[in-house]
Each structure stands twice: as structure tokens, then as C-alpha cells.
Structure 1
Amino acid sequence: MNYMKKTITIDALLLMIFLLIGIAGCQPKTEEQATADNRETDTAEKLEPLTSESAVEVLTAYEKAHPDSLILISTRHGDIKLRLYPETPLHRANFVRLTKAGFYDQGEFYRVVKGFAVQGGDSDTRTMKNGAYKIPQEFNPRYIHKRGALAMARYGDERNPEKESSSHNFYIVQGEPQTVQELRAFEAKHNIKYTPEQIKLYTTIGGEPSLDQEYTVFGEVIEGMEVIDKIAEEPVNGQNWPHNIVPHKIKTIAQ
């Protein structure tokens, strides 16, 4: 599909499909506590299961004690370096907490929609569990779904009117360039106003404005976007699952 020529109707349909079978299908399940026994370093932490009631308190305290903001995701296609935003403290703390505990070392990029996004964080073979909880949304008009944006998945239906995020499923936007006309339509739909800089980003490098103010963007790729493009080329089945899994290892790196 030529995304430069797509209409708002087609874009909305793409979003609906992705929400129904992709980003929206991310509900954490409650299972027994486990520890990271496959961590490559000796810094692994025990991962205490959280609930939606305890998550904010725990993550708020964790955020103050762990100022990490640089992340490295390693895959068989190469490495991706990301910067996490301090203005989304709960999401940053949650991602760092799971990373330091080794939780994401048992995950993979398990859903790929070329030209849209690649989704990771989960795996059918994971033994380590983090509890059943959601993270309050932290929408910030500064942070849009430009190409390379890192955001958290969530349920997208009436069961989640507050648009709270998944506990662990994340996605990185690949996206395509948008037209100004499309952006104006999304401004009206989401009751937002893009800055001239944001319009330039969307019309040049691209992204997915259909997701703005629907999912929390909490970071961005600063190196290795070509790796995302390689993952997006993976052959997939009818449910956008890669035929060959793309495992990932995630760690924090020096600031």
C-alpha cells in the first residue's frame, strides 16, 4: 500500500485492525513469582509481582532510586538504542524495573505490521512473571508517534476508558510519511494541535498519528532504526506473528 496516498478511512481501518489483533490484545496474566535465572550479568533483581493497586506506589519509589534513561535492545538483526523520557516517570520506571530484573530477556518481537509498528515484550515460553497490573496513562503533547517512538500497548476497548497501559507489552513505531491533510483530520479527531516541528516530522520521516493520545509514548529510538526496518521485513502469518521468532535482550546502559 502507498501510505502517502492512503485516505483517513483506510488509516482508521488499519488502526482498528491493529487494535483488535495487535496492540489491543495485551492483557497480562497473574502467575507465580519467579526470578531471572538466565541473566547474563550478576545484577538481576527479584521481580515482586505488582497489582494495579500497588503499581503506582512501587513505581514512584523505584523511579526516584533508578534514574536510568538509556536502553539497549539486542536482536539477531542488530542493536537498538533508546532514550526514555523523564516526563513519563511511571512508564520509564516500569520499563527499567523489568529490564533490570531480566524480565525482557525472555521476550521477543512477536507481532509485526510492516509500515506501522513492531511489538515486543512478551513470549509464550517466558517463565518469569510480573503480576497483573496496568499503568496510568501519561500522555504528553510533546511526544507523538513519530517514526522510532517507543510506547506501551494497552486494551483499547470499553474495559479501559482511562487508557491505562499494559504492564509489559511495548511497541516501536515504523510508520510512513503523512500528508498535512491527514494530520489536520487527526488534530480534529483527537482534539490536539501539532506544532510546526511535529508536522515536519510526520510529513518527512513519518509515523502513526492515529495512535496519538491513545497510547503513552515514553521514549524514542536514537540509534538502530534500521534494525526496526529489518524486523518489519520478517515474513508473518495472518495474525502478524513472524514465522521466525525475533527474541530480544534488553539492558540499561551508562548515561
Structure 2
Amino acid sequence: MKTKIFNLLIIISMVLFSCKGNKQEKEGTDSTKQEDSTVMTTTNLAFNPSDLPVEPLFDIETSAGTIRIRLYKETPLHRDNFVKLASERYYDGILFHRIIKGFMIQAGDPYTKDPAAADKYGTGGPGYTVPAEILPQYKHKKGALAAARRGGPSNPQKESSGSQFYIVEDAGTCAQLDGDYTVYGETVDGFGVIDIIAATPTGPRDRPTTDVKIISIKPVL
């Protein structure tokens, strides 16, 4: 992309987050754990971020099919952070660890690469948050890409998780999240794949009983 990659301020304090709303609070599905810092080092980038346009397209290849998304130029902090992580292959091999049919599908926790760390699923991240970029024109429509975050009074600035994101399956039930979570992209193709993933059977804490994996996230050049 033509603009410089935003240098995010790394916050040492760990954060807790979730894609939550009134429905989830009533059902008791909100995460209550802390987000841990999971350090990942990469020497070879999958692509050069400076080669991308200001509103890049990405293919999220999953074990259930491919979802094509567009990142918004009006949310540059989230756009640049997503591009940075994708270029570092941060998301490769990560699972969709939280699925609520008729609501959303969530991924981005590096702990999910390790089956032995199942008790930590939903708590991992790169060790920093991203300042909120909540814009009124971007709603939780079908296929919207949004950042998960720590909820409640402990996060009054509504800062986003450094890596965890969710994709809206149902706009009606996710409308309650408008104005509270940063929406920074949208699906342009692969809506059926979202529905397939959302239909995955789940167990306690909305964990899928069958793994749905992100194989890679690559720019459409």
C-alpha cells in the first residue's frame, strides 16, 4: 500500500476481549480471560505491503473455502495492522475458535495453532491493541470484517485486539454491535463459505467441535 505501515504502540498490559453484545451477555458466552502476548518472529515476508493499493483485497483461504475481503482506507490503523500480520504469515494455520450460528465467526488467536493449548483458545494475541476506528458509515452488515476487543468498563476507549477478528454472518443479530466495535473491511466474495463455517457444530464456549482452519491470507494482486 502507498502509505507507510502504522507503527503500533505495544502495550505490555494484557487484554481480554470478545465479540459480544447484549445477546451474548445474556447467554453467558462472553470471554472472561486475559489476552496473552504470543510473540512470533518472521524473517521472510509473504508479500511486500508497499505494493498494495489503499483498499487491498485479500483471500482468506480456509479449510471450508475461500472468503475474499476488502479492507477500508478509512480505517488505516486496522488495515495496516492486518496487512502487516498477513505479510508475516501470522494467520496461517490459525483456527476459527469461536462460532455462533446466526451471529458471527471469530479467528485470529495464535494459540489455536497448538492443540495442547486448547484451554487458552480465545486469549492469544500479538501483545498490543489497536486504537478504535469506529465510523458510523460502516455497519455490521453480512460479511463485515470487524475487530474483536476487550469489553466492559475496563476498555473505555474500545481498543481492538491486535489480531483477533470476526466476520458477520447475520446482520440482524450483529446490529447491536454498531458503534461499539471497529468494522474495517467487508466480504466481496465467499458469503456461502461464511455460512458453512457458521454451521459448524460447537461445544462449550462456542468452540467448534471440528477444526476450521485458516490456511493462508494472501493479497489479490
Do these two structures clear the TM 0.5 threshold for a shared fold by scoring above it? Answer: yes
Scaled by the length of structure 1, the TM-score of the pair is 0.67
1:233 is aligned to: 199
Deviation at 1:208, TM superposition (A): 1.7
Structure with the higher strand share, 1 or 2:
2
Q: Secondary structure at the match of 2:204?
A: coil
Give me the whole-angstrom Cα distance separating, in 2, the residues matched to 1:223 and 1:95: 19
Deviation at 1:250, TM superposition (A): 3.2
Please, which of 163, 168, 175 is the counterpart of residue 168 of structure 1?
Answer: 163
Please, which of 29, 34, 47 is the counterpart of residue 21 of structure 1?
Answer: 29
Deviation at 1:130, TM superposition (A): 6.4
2:118 is aligned to: none
1:57 is aligned to: none
Scaled by the length of structure 2, the TM-score of the pair is 0.76
Q: Is 2:100 the counterpart of 1:113? A: yes
Give me the whole-angstrom Cα distance separating, in 1, the residues matched to 2:129 and 2:33: 11
Superposition CA RMSD, Å: 2.8
The answer (yes or no) to whether the contact 1:26–1:166 under 8 Å persists in 2 is no
Distance 1:21 1:67, change over 3 A: farther
Please, which of 82, 86, 89 is the counterpart of residue 102 of structure 1?
Answer: 89
Distance 1:27 1:83, change over 3 A: farther
Alignment gaps of 5+ in structure 2 = 1-19, 115-123
Deviation at 1:28, TM superposition (A): 3.6
1:91 is aligned to: 78
Give me the whole-angstrom Cα distance separating, in 1, the residues matched to 2:163 and 2:194: 19
Q: How does 1:169-188 map to 2 (within 5 A)?
A: 169-177=164-172
Deviation at 1:116, TM superposition (A): 0.4
Q: Secondary structure at the match of 1:208?
A: helix
Q: How many residues were matched structurally? A: 192
Please, which of 30, 35, 38 is the counterpart of residue 42 of structure 2?
Answer: 35
**CA deviation string 1:87-106 (max 9, x = no partner):** 00000001111001000003
Matched residue type, 1:219: G
- Greater gyration radius: 1
Structure with the higher helix share, 1 or 2:
1
2:58 is aligned to: 71
**CA deviation string 1:3-56 (max 9, x = no partner):** xxxxxxxx96414257x635x5575422444337xxxxx6448xxxxxxxxxxx
Give me the whole-angstrom Cα distance separating, in 1, the residues matched to 2:49 and 2:87: 13
Distance 1:21 1:125, change over 3 A: same
